[in-house]
């Protein structure tokens, strides 16, 4: 990983202030006159954890601006967009916990474990509706259209994954399409839409979209690895869910493609029995985890190359550092 440049260090306090502004927009938008809704919203605010997507919005917008003077109206639009994408992301987490029957998120109880699936589904819908309501106040109709198309892709990716649940013949191509839609398109939209709001050309905005998609896909692959080998307290959520729910992640896809017929039969038995330890021992022989990491590192390298369309700056370097961090994290 490259060292942090002085201009990046200078930018970080500004980023912190902007993320605080995003958090305020988020909290204001989700105010409700119903105590039962307010209580649940306050609970899921803990999910804001890494604030990765709002950071992508702010850093992309400022990286495009370069040395040009600040524009308060654009900055306000970027802050609102940061809150919008975080609401969409949070809605997907609430819905994912229902689908996965997860009990823990960010080290605490999930909404579905506290209040049941019906309440969790409706809270996720409330978050989606709130995100589009806030988006409409930005005053850029094209933004609503782009976010709507992105959200359709996101949902279709979930359906694609569900349609392949338990499919031991899942190919790498299908796996990558699933994670591109489920994870990549939202990160890509964060960067692309922020760039357009900041006046970037369509070429530059599209390069940033690809940067975000590849970063998001690398992030998901690392999640796949952590679901198998991570520490639950460090990761902060229920682990082993992918295995129990019949979701084939990249390490498993690679392993099944590489293993012998005998090893494949033993792998299927381990999957059916939910024996993670046995599965990991079998996967060690095919270096499936190493192959997954190699795929993630390749996506990170490609994502960083996309940033060459931007002038050198603290925000641009932060985007590069964020790409590196996706595969170095343990949580």
Residue 3 binned pLDDT confidence (cut-offs 50, 70, 90): low
> Tell me, what CATH number does 222's domain have?
1.10.600.10
C-alpha–C-alpha distance, residues 304 and 300, integer Å:
6
C-alpha–C-alpha distance, residues 260 and 150, integer Å:
40
Structural domain including 95 reads 6-328
Over 90: is that where the pLDDT of 219 sits? yes
Over 80: is that where the pLDDT of 48 sits? no
> Residues 112-135: pLDDT tens digits?
998 999 999 999 999 999 999 999
CA atoms within 13 A on the CB side of 207: 17
Q: For residue 241, is it within any domain? A: yes
**Closest to 81 (Cα-Cα) out of 11, 144, 157:** 144
Q: Is residue 158 exposed (0-12), middle (13-18) or buried (19+ Cβ within 10 Å)?
A: middle
Phi-psi label, residue 32: left if phi above 0, alpha if psi -120 to 50, beta otherwise: beta
Q: For residue 1, is it within any domain? A: no
Q: For residue 191, is it within any domain? A: yes
> Residues 274-300: pLDDT tens digits?
788 898 999 999 999 999 999 999 999
> Residues 54-65: pLDDT tens digits?
999 999 999 999
Lowest-pLDDT range, 79-88, 131-140, 203-212, 224-233?
A: 224-233
Structurally, the chain folds into a number of domains equal to 1
Q: For residue 245, is it within any domain? A: yes
**Would you state the pLDDT for residue 156?**
97
Residue 331 binned pLDDT confidence (cut-offs 50, 70, 90): low
**Would you state the pLDDT for residue 103?**
85
Mean model confidence pLDDT for the chain: 91
Over 70: is that where the pLDDT of 304 sits? yes
């Amino acid at each position: 990983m490259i060292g942090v440049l002085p201009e990046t260090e200078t930018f970080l306090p500004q980023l912190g202030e902007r993320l605080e502004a995003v958090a305020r927009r988020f909290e204001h938008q989700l105010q409700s006159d119903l105590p039962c809704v307010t209580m649940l919203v306050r609970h899921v605010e803990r999910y804001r954890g890494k604030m990765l997507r709002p950071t992508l919005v702010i850093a992309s917008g400022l990286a495009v601006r370069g040395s040009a003077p600040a524009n308060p109206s654009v900055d306000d639009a970027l802050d609102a967009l940061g809150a919008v994408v975080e609401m969409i992301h949070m809605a997907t987490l609430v819905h994912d916990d229902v689908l996965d029957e997860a009990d823990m998120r960010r080290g605490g109880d999930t909404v579905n474990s506290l209040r049941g699936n019906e309440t969790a589904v409706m809270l996720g819908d409330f978050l989606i509706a709130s995100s589009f309501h806030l988006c409409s106040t930005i005053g850029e109709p094209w933004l609503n259209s782009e976010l709507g198309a992105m959200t359709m892709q996101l949902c279709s990716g979930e359906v694609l994954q569900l349609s392949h649940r338990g499919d031991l013949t899942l190919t790498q191509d299908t796996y990558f399409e699933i994670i591109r839609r489920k994870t990549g398109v939202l990160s890509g939209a964060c960067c692309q839409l922020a760039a357009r709001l900041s006046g970037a050309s369509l070429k530059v905005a599209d390069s940033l979209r690809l940067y975000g998609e590849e970063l998001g896909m690398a992030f998901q692959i690392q999640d796949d690895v952590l679901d198998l080998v991570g520490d639950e307290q460090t990761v902060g959520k229920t682990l082993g869910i992918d295995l129990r729910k019949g979701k084939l992640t990249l390490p498993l896809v690679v392993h099944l493609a590489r293993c012998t017929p005998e090893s494949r039969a033993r792998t299927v038995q381990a999957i059916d029995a939910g024996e993670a330890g046995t599965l990991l021992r079998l996967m060690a022989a095919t270096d499936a985890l190493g192959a997954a990491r190699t795929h993630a590192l390749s996506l990170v390298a490609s994502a960083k190359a996309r940033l060459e369309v931007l002038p050198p700056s603290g925000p641009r370097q932060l985007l590069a550092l964020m790409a590196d961090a996706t595969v170095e994290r343990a949580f």
